Structure 1
Amino acid sequence: MFKKLFTFALFSLFITFSFAQQNSDEQYRKPLVEVLRDLEQRYGITIKYDEAQVRDKYLNYAMWRFRSDVDETLRNVLAPLDLKVNKEGDKKYKLKPYEYYRWEVKDGWDYLDQLATQYQDIASWEKRKAAIRPELFTALKLSPLPAKPASKPIFTEKRNFDGYSVQNFALEILPGVYLNGSMYKPAKAKGKSALVLSPDGHWGDHRYRKDAQIRCAMLAKMGAVAVSYDLFAWGESLLQFKSEDHRKSLAMTVQTLGAIRLLDYMLAEQAIDAARVAICGGSGGGSHAVLMTALDDRITLSIPVVSLSSYFYGGCPCESGLPIHASGGGTNNVELAAFAAPRPQLVISDGKDWTAHMPEHDFGYLQKIYGYYGKSMDVANVHLPNDGHDFGYSKRKPVYDFVARYFNLNNKTLKNQAGEYDESGCTIEKKEALYTFGANGENLPANALHGYENLEKLFQN
């Protein structure tokens, strides 16, 4: 009898405590929109936000999170809800989702410095690389690499222009999964040609953009074969997948495998010089270029454009959707970029995105790693402090110069008397002309795989 009474008493106490705790939580629980109003009133600030960002969001014990410092208070209040604010002026803020892939500048620098304590010379650096690289393949679900389809690439008819030609292609990289792109070739090649892989970034119109076409055409006019190709679920890949699939983790896997398969095919061609193989991409294409150079020693020159930073890990799952940055006990994009050493590397940065501080810290780190090989002059940084996040002429010019210098290409005939490149001889095609499978996908192969769920099945074994 006593045991039953004791058990009942404990149960009653638990119910009472839970009810009191619930009431306490409810008492101190406030809608986020009210908390933001309190913040604005107390600190004399303005916080911009969309209604959808605050709808149905609540914060427990909100008032206990307030401090005398407004920035500390904002962090305390918003972090539990995976939100943050960006400062847009004096006492003006804008509410944003918390970007875990974007660190504070000093945090990124400190972490890179911490990573650098693990190596002091070539031997210790090569040991570090050897530990990270296989883990990258594992994180990418590419260890071992899937079997290569036996099919031959699909090509459209060649189109001839002033000093170069263009031919679209589709390469089967997994059963029913195709990589699409366009090959820009010099009209008159003497001997074997250099190869420049040109993955597209996250700008609109993909590889069909005017600046993307110009860059590849100019490289071809200089004597290189430039291959512009789609990232996953962009461009013609949308015939097989939805645009939202690009923001799923396997985007990173398929993009990487696509570039590996593209290298396999191009380097099997007798017309390509295996000693002169570059990769050059901007934004998300720059992140892809860094990763590919870290993974594949067949790439002998790399140019990441407006992408590289120690405090930014890539805001798209195609850049950070798989745990590549956990490899080797933890790494970041600048350490991965250092894998290029001693191969020539040009880093192009600007003043209006996450590459704004490249010359202040990260570039010095890269020079140090290249110095282990006595090649510190083979890594370069062109910083454009007044530029923004694009692939305009100010970025293309150093690309042309760097590739011409290291691959011994003829760029002199493409410059005017002022030393500027004349890009007017490049033909800008309508994007339909750059399709391999037709304007409406009418030439898509019968075995083409459709849907992300079917792609996932290829990686379940």
Structure 2
Amino acid sequence: MPPPPLVFSVMDSASGARRRDPSASSRSRMPAAARTVLAALYLAPFAAAAPPPDPRDSLNIDSKTTFTPRHYADLKTWEARKAGLRRQILVSAGLWPLQERGPLAVHRFGRTPKGPYIVEKLALETLPGFYVGANLYIPARLSRPAPAILVAHGHWKHGRTHHAEDYSVPALCANLAAQGFIALAWDMVGYEDTRQLPHNFGDSPEELSWLFAPFSLQLWNAIRALDFVESLPEVNRFQIGMTGTSGGGTQTYLLAAIDERIRAAAPGGMVSATFQGDDVCEMAPGLRIGTNNLELTSLIAPRHLLLVAATGDWTRNTLKVELPAIRSIYALYRQERRASAAMINAGHNSNRESREAVYAFFHRVFMRRYLYSAPPRESDDVPLPSREELLIGDALRDKPQASRSAIFAEWRAMAIARTASMKDELLRERIAALFHVSLPDQVAVPDSSAELVLLRADTGTPVLAQWLNPPSEDTDEFEIGVSPEGLSCERCRQAEPGGGSARARLLIEVYRAGLPPQPFRLERATFHRSNFAERTQDILSAIRYVAGFASRKPIVLSCFGLARAWCLLAAAATPPEINIRLAAGLDEDYTAGLAEYLNRPGIAYSGGLPVLFRLASRHGGGAATAATMGR
């Protein structure tokens, strides 16, 4: 009889998310140490018979999962993590690596004097024929270049023109301009003047394969908005900040995370350990695999940061949880005081009190004012523009506007040009980052298991394996067999033609090998690898294990059925110094039936089958690190 399940709470090492057994509430009040001892004694007879549990089976993360902050022991470790997270954001957006960008076409539709400032209607042509409505607020009197603030709006009905007691972009921008800042507010996709695309586009298989989606395009628009502001002669390019609330808070911490030109950031209402944002423009395949908003915001360190929080939403614990966690990253730079927070007694908002906290923050950072005196208050004497003074309307619609298909074509052209400029090393790095797969540094083989189990040292995920022909002193080649049938595969037990008795042969069973492809769900894809990627991870574990024996000797991947796709990705992601090849030639027969199966989010952006074939076929015979532990 199998042992009963233990009731426990575990931490996922990759994401920091807590996973708890649903029956935990019925746990007895026996002391924890006693429960542990009794459990160990009870389970001892079964320890040698059962393989270790697979942590992937219990991993279920979504936008409302509670995350526990990670701790980083030193700056070197954090800087390495920081580089990987920046790449993760940009890969998820289909924008890595960022390329040189040409001049931005800006279309102007008139200025309106408003006393202490002037407001101007603009359209930023972020892609040929695609216009993003915007407003530029400039102080009426400027004697020298001024600090500039980018203002990203949230999901309120009227976006950049929304004016209400609990949220007002015009009040924020007008007061910033009256206080001496230049402010730019622009539309989310599908809002106000920017309606060539709906807000929830990008769900067709072809658009997904190019990562043409709200998250991607809005991040691109934000980068181009920053390019525009930096180019203005009225702007001090070394004093650019950014703020936004709710969905605008998401845009704020993401742009500041990837672009050092943002010298100070004040995201509001979205930096939370308990809610990650669930709008289509806040999610993307792979964006938060192994991470969360808290850690992504920490990428802003050591630049100035203000977390604007509220007692009535998911940021209510900022002073106890999020701020101390982020300050622990700032402490690595010895800059803890640069991270601060403002707690507002209200619901989800950007009300007057929240806005005044933002004014004070930017004054302290950029103007060195109010360090020891009261910061500026929002003035009722500052006139606010009407919606008619902010919206472009018919004047923009009269311009030739690209259709959805034409905008998509421009996005594809940008991705194709990026791929054409990349060398193999970057292509391999991108394909591995897109699917979140990697060759592990180390694979352990626990002696406690009766079966051969390959255990990734970085994730703890097990792979069942079986030597059909163990390595010996005479071994001159190694074969890894992979099939949807796992260890039950009879075809895999037949030696590949041309493989002699001196070939060592390993058969593996990858994760949920027999299950059909999962239907795509954006929220799940944001936090989890696909089963396709998990199977590739397992093949990479086997490659690392076998490479510990093989040294410079060749490793052959002998794959059957849909496993050919998993092996193709594994070979493409394997560093070229490992001497590996696919048993089947890279020809039409090999790819028959795989094109549709491989049509996954981002695959076209990453170069598609041609790049996979190119990378999979370019492996040499360099020395492999002997990193296998155990038998």
Alignment of 1:265-276 (within 5 A): 265-276=228-239
Match in the other structure for 2:399: 445
Structure 1 residues 177, 146: closer, same or farther in 2, change over 3 A?
farther
Structure 1 residues 289, 244: closer, same or farther in 2, change over 3 A?
same
Is 2:93–2:284's contact at 8 Å kept on the other side of the alignment? Answer: no
2:245 is the alignment partner of 1:285: no
2:410 is the alignment partner of 1:458: yes
Match in the other structure for 1:234: 191
What is the deviation of 1:442? 5.5
Match in the other structure for 2:110: 157
2:92 is the alignment partner of 1:139: yes
What is the deviation of 1:69? 7.4
Amino acid across the alignment from 1:405:
R
Is 1:246–1:318's contact at 8 Å kept on the other side of the alignment? Answer: no
Structure 1 residues 128, 334: closer, same or farther in 2, change over 3 A?
same
Match in the other structure for 1:29: none
What is the deviation of 1:427? 2.3
Structure 1 residues 180, 322: closer, same or farther in 2, change over 3 A?
farther
- Separation in 1 of the partners of 2:367 and 2:279? 35
SS of 1:155's partner is strand
What is the deviation of 1:269? 2.3
Is 1:207–1:230's contact at 8 Å kept on the other side of the alignment? Answer: yes
2:62 is the alignment partner of 1:100: yes
- Separation in 1 of the partners of 2:128 and 2:115? 37
SS of 2:201's partner is helix
Is 1:246–1:317's contact at 8 Å kept on the other side of the alignment? Answer: no
SS of 1:158's partner is strand
Match in the other structure for 1:193: 146
Match in the other structure for 1:340: 300
Structure 1 residues 459, 371: closer, same or farther in 2, change over 3 A?
same
Query: For 2:127, which of 165, 174, 180 is the aligned residue?
Result: 174
**For each residue in 1:62-85, what CA deviation from the matched residue of structure 2 results, as whole angstroms up to 9, or x when unmatched?**
xxxx98979xxxxxxxxxxxxxxx
SS of 1:458's partner is helix
**For each residue in 1:257-310, what CA deviation from the matched residue of structure 2 results, as whole angstroms up to 9, or x when unmatched?**
111112212212232112111010000000110100111001000000111112
> Normalising by structure 2, what TM-score?
0.52
- Separation in 1 of the partners of 2:313 and 2:331? 28
What is the deviation of 1:208? 0.8
Structure 1 residues 191, 306: closer, same or farther in 2, change over 3 A?
same
Match in the other structure for 1:373: 333
2:79 is the alignment partner of 1:126: yes
Query: For 1:430, which of 386, 389, 392 is the aligned residue?
Result: 386
Is 2:105–2:126's contact at 8 Å kept on the other side of the alignment? Answer: no
Query: For 1:363, which of 301, 310, 323 is the aligned residue?
Result: 323
Query: When you count helix as a share of all residues, which structure comes out higher?
Result: 1
Match in the other structure for 2:263: 300
Match in the other structure for 2:362: 403
**For each residue in 1:355-414, what CA deviation from the matched residue of structure 2 results, as whole angstroms up to 9, or x when unmatched?**
111122111111111111111111101112x310111011011101001111117789xx
What is the deviation of 1:237? 0.9
**Range with bigger deviation, 243-252 or 204-213:** 243-252
- Separation in 2 of the partners of 1:426 and 1:220? 10
Alignment of 1:16-27 (within 5 A): none
- Separation in 1 of the partners of 2:179 and 2:67? 38
Match in the other structure for 1:220: 177
- Separation in 2 of the partners of 1:292 and 1:165? 26
What is the deviation of 1:139? 1.2
SS of 1:345's partner is strand
- Separation in 1 of the partners of 2:378 and 2:198? 38
SS of 1:179's partner is strand
- Separation in 2 of the partners of 1:411 and 1:172? 38
Alignment of 1:75-94 (within 5 A): none
Q: Percent identity?
A: 25
Structure 1 residues 147, 174: closer, same or farther in 2, change over 3 A?
farther
Query: For 1:258, which of 221, 228, 250 is the aligned residue?
Result: 221
Is 2:173–2:183's contact at 8 Å kept on the other side of the alignment? Answer: yes
SS of 1:397's partner is helix
- Separation in 1 of the partners of 2:389 and 2:360? 29
Is 1:280–1:286's contact at 8 Å kept on the other side of the alignment? Answer: yes
- Separation in 2 of the partners of 1:257 and 1:220? 25
SS of 1:235's partner is coil
- Separation in 1 of the partners of 2:184 and 2:107? 15
Amino acid across the alignment from 2:176:
L
Match in the other structure for 1:323: 286
Structure 1 residues 164, 259: closer, same or farther in 2, change over 3 A?
same
**For each residue in 1:83-117, what CA deviation from the matched residue of structure 2 results, as whole angstroms up to 9, or x when unmatched?**
xxxxxxxxxxxxxxx993111xxx312xx23xx3x
**Residue ranges of structure 2 left out of the alignment (5+ in a row):** 1-21, 27-59, 205-211, 417-631
2:274 is the alignment partner of 1:311: yes
- Separation in 2 of the partners of 1:450 and 1:146? 25
Is 1:303–1:346's contact at 8 Å kept on the other side of the alignment? Answer: yes
- Separation in 2 of the partners of 1:454 and 1:146? 21
Amino acid across the alignment from 1:299:
I
Structure 1 residues 449, 410: closer, same or farther in 2, change over 3 A?
farther
Is 1:222–1:411's contact at 8 Å kept on the other side of the alignment? Answer: no
Match in the other structure for 1:393: 352
SS of 2:288's partner is helix
Alignment of 1:5-44 (within 5 A): none
Is 2:129–2:407's contact at 8 Å kept on the other side of the alignment? Answer: no
Structure 1 residues 230, 322: closer, same or farther in 2, change over 3 A?
farther
**Residue ranges of structure 1 left out of the alignment (5+ in a row):** 1-65, 71-97
What is the deviation of 1:425? 2.2
Structure 1 residues 304, 277: closer, same or farther in 2, change over 3 A?
same
What is the deviation of 1:125? 1.0
Structure 1 residues 304, 247: closer, same or farther in 2, change over 3 A?
farther
- Paired residues, what number? 347
Question: Root-mean-square deviation (CA), in Å?
Answer: 2.7
SS of 2:85's partner is helix
